[in-house]
Amino acid sequence: MALSDELAYLPATELAARVRRRDLSPVEVTDAFIQRIERRNPSLNAFVYLAFDDARRRAKDAEQAVLRGEELGPLHGVPTAMKDLFDFHPGWPSTLGGIRALKGHVIDAYCAWAERIERAGAIILGKTNSPIMGFRGTTDNYLFGPTRNPFNLAKNPGGSSGGSAAAVADGLVPFAEGTDGGGSIRIPAAWSGVYGYKASFGRVPAVARPNAFSLDTPFIFEGVLTRTVEDAALVLSALAGYDPRDPFSLDETVDFAGAVRRSIRGMKIAYSPDLDVFPVDRRVRKVVDEAVRAFEEAGARVEPVRVGIRHHQRELSDVWCRLIMPINIGALESFRRQGIDLLGEHREDFPPEYLEWVDRGYRMTMLEFIRDQEIRTEVYDAIQGVLNRYDLLVTPTLATVAVDNATDGNTVGPREVEGEAVDPLIGWCLTYVVNFTGHPAASAPAGLSDDGLPVGLQIIGRRYADADVLAASAALERVRPWKDLYRIPAARPV
């Protein structure tokens, strides 16, 4: 077996341990993952920018640090990937999700995620695909085209962190960056059969400029996609912590690794199969209903609940689309001030659904904004009301299984689920309501549908109770191990 295949599905924790023991060198590890990417990425389209020269230089430096006996970071020599959206690395292009006019655009700065992950010793191999401005739950764009799901190449892996999720599922990297403004970590985690974690708002810093206060409407998060809960805890330990550049950054520590080892015996867990208002595909419901039993087997008490959300799902998805517009319009106006009029001469670079919402965003009134925030508050009160009585709330992550990729660069989700119309951009995702509220949430693999497609289980915790979400995720992984899922993409012919 080639070293690239031997290492492909090792957890980041194991790779880091082998590097520290000098069983593997950072150069060997980096070269092995580069070889696998070169072999498999052409059929997946997970990576859209390859930084192999930079990675090999960092790997050589990392190897010398090991040989000199220096103190090593927790991710020393472990390969990873970052997302091509609002995520920057000096000298690397940033297309904001495949905007053709930005093909060669370089923002010569670090985002906080890349800064901290490299400080922890990880080696970034490149950037992964996402939809334009991250404005949908699928990954496709006019510049790079769709990313393909490792479990079925005709299907989409979800979005907007779909390139990262597909890369992790296919063993191209052990973990990768995700960002989440409506489910963009949890959505592709569910469809790609990996673990996605969105910490409490402020737990992982994000540095936004020119508007440092733009990440709370709705709450927008930095996070991680992995194949194991322990890996997520390891990466979070490197990412979390106070950053004075982020006005929302939390100045407190969490024992993420300890949380993974905790028992959930005695926990009270609420289960909602639909958050009261979402139509859910029978195939998804069947898998999630069975997966929820794992918490009882681990000693928790699970009870069905009504959440108390009173607004129709179409109204809620419209609220999300409006509330995400200020950060989008802010980015577009920032480029206009730099002399790049994306909505003028480059308007055709954007899909029609995005343009429709941007145009509506420019016309939005203050009264409409206030009303949307009031609806958001009602959703917060409903979810918090459940979490006042229970430790966790669990739901399906998504209402449906993965959709087919389009051929025109404009893949969207389903337009109806179980006969009920939904917004194809986000309306089939039970994730965005948690971006209204700021609670920590994860998507964990629940199993496969009868047609062999991954299904995700969403685990929502109390505000700042990240340890509870990780503990429950780890309990699910112990009782219903999902590592064998990856035999499917591993066996896929290239």
Marked catalytic residue, from 83, 127, 155, 198: 83
Give the C-alpha separation, 130 to 398, whole Å.
Answer: 18
- Please state whether the predicted TM-score (pTM) of the whole model is above 0.95: yes
Backbone conformation region of residue 80, classed left if phi is above 0, alpha if psi is from -120 to 50, else beta: beta
| 3 part of a folded domain | no
- Catalytic status, residue 249: no
Q: Is the pLDDT confidence value at 170 over 70?
A: yes
**What SS3 string covers 170-217?**
CCCCCEEEEEECCCCCHHHHHHHCCEEEECCCCCCCCCCCCCCCCCEC
Helices vs strands, H then E, count in the chain = 17, 13
> What is the tally of structural domains in the chain?
1
Q: With pLDDT > 90 as the criterion, what percentage of the chain qualifies? A: 96
| Residue among 143, 41, 127, 28 at smallest CA distance from 86 | 127
For residue 347, give the CATH number of its domain. 3.90.1300.10
Q: How confident is the model at residue 346 (pLDDT cuts 50, 70, 90)?
A: very high
What is the DSSP secondary-structure string of 371-400? HHHHHHHHHHHHHHHHHHH-SEEEEESBSS
pLDDT value at residue 486:
87
pLDDT value at residue 494:
58
Element (H, E) at 297: helix 282-297
Which one-letter amino acid corresponds to residue 62? A
Marked catalytic residue, from 130, 184, 200, 272: 184
Contact (CB, 8 A) for 117 and 76:
no
- Catalytic status, residue 483: no
Backbone conformation region of residue 424, classed left if phi is above 0, alpha if psi is from -120 to 50, else beta: alpha
What would the pLDDT profile of 363-400 be if each residue is shown by its tens digit? 999 999 999 999 999 999 999 999 999 999 999 999 99
Residue 381 has a CB neighbour count (10 Å cut-off) of: 13
| 1 part of a folded domain | no
| Residue among 125, 124, 129, 123 at smallest CA distance from 142 | 129
Residue-number span of the structural domain to which 29 is assigned: 8-491
Distance of CA 322 to the CA centre of its chain: 21
What would the pLDDT profile of 206-239 be if each residue is shown by its tens digit? 999 999 999 999 999 999 999 999 999 999 999 9
Residue 71 has a CB neighbour count (10 Å cut-off) of: 6
Marked catalytic residue, from 4, 25, 160, 249: 160
* Per-residue tokens: 147: 């990313």
- Catalytic status, residue 60: no
| 267 part of a folded domain | yes
pLDDT value at residue 39:
97
* Per-residue tokens: 292: 């929820």
| 400 part of a folded domain | yes
What would the pLDDT profile of 400-447 be if each residue is shown by its tens digit? 999 999 999 999 999 999 999 999 999 999 999 999 999 999 999 999
**Which residues have CB under 8 Å from 476's CB, separation 6+?**
291, 294, 295, 298, 444, 457, 459
Q: With pLDDT > 70 as the criterion, what percentage of the chain qualifies? A: 99
What would the pLDDT profile of 235-266 be if each residue is shown by its tens digit? 999 999 999 999 999 999 999 999 999 999 99
| 2 part of a folded domain | no
Q: How confident is the model at residue 4 (pLDDT cuts 50, 70, 90)?
A: confident
